[in-house]
Structure 1
Amino acid sequence: MNKKADFAIGQVIQHRLFNYRGVIFDVDAEFQGSEEWYEKNAKTGSPPKNEPWYHVLIDEDGRVAYVAQRNLELDYSHEPIDHPLIPNFFAGYDQGQYQSRYVFN
């Protein structure tokens, strides 16, 4: 049974453990990475693979993260994210929420 996604595309989040901010640009209903990636990167208490995982543009870093739902929380600063790929995914920003460049079904 899959858990419902707590966060949406365009939401600004904070990583609970690594204390970085970012914006979600994609969501997987469950872990979609390789077993090798999971063993190498999921060292924070073996996050569940059957819960949502998020693709995140990291603020002031330029990197992209793949993060388990349990490691995220909403960011309430209402500060925009500084990342070179923002224009690829989002058309605008308002009050802590990015507006998607694309219309999803």
Structure 2
Amino acid sequence: MTLKHAKFQIGQIVKHRIFPFRGVIYDVDPVFANTEEWWNAIPEHIRPLKDQPFYHLLAENDDTEYVAYVSEQNLLTDDSDRPMRHAQVAELFGPQMDGVYSIKHRISH
């Protein structure tokens, strides 16, 4: 399996290619790192390949906010310039500039 470089970056706002939601990336897996049950629950005709980056998103649609796990092949850059309303965005990120939120630096012990 060849690892691919991630097309998108942490803090970037993206939208789903098929479903009506958008999100800000807060983590990236170089290849699929979820459960087989999760993967098999995706209808086969739209099931993504596993050997690509997968992104953890603070996601939102018109009705709700949630966390999503999405393959690179199903993401597009969101060029709407609309800020995210997801409640956790302010916990992880600072100001947005050109569709990318700056990462807040955390001090932990």
TM-score (norm 1): 0.89
Residue 20 of structure 1: CA displacement?
A: 1.2
Aligned equivalents of 1:18, 1:45: Cα separation in 2: 11
2:53 is the counterpart of 1:48: no
Equivalent position amino acid for 1:53 in 2: F
Establish whether residue 90 from structure 1 lines up as the match of residue 93 from structure 2: yes
1:92 shift after superposition: 1.7
Tell me, yes or no, if structure 1 residue 20 matches structure 2 residue 17: no
Which residue is equivalent to 1:5?
A: 6
Of 48-57 and 90-99, deviating more is 90-99
Q: Which has the larger radius of gyration?
A: 2
For residue 35 of structure 1, what is the aligned residue in structure 2? 36
Instruction: Point out 4+ residue stretches in structure 1 off by more than 3 angstroms.
Output: none
Amino acid at match of 2:98: Q
Q: Deviations over 1:48-73 (max 9, x none)?
A: 11100000111352200000000000
Q: For residue 99 of structure 1, give the secondary structure of its aligned residue in structure 2.
A: strand
- 3-state SS of 1:47 partner: coil
Deviations 1:7-64 (A, max 9, x none): 0001111100002111111100001101111111x32522111100000111352200
Q: Percent identity?
A: 38
The DSSP-based 3-state class of the residue aligned with 1:93 is strand
Alignment of 1:101 onto 2:88: no
| Count of paired positions | 102
- Structure 1 unaligned blocks of 5 or more: none
Structure 2 gap segments, 5+ residues each: none
**Root-mean-square deviation (CA), in Å?**
1.5
TM superposition score normalised by structure 2: 0.86
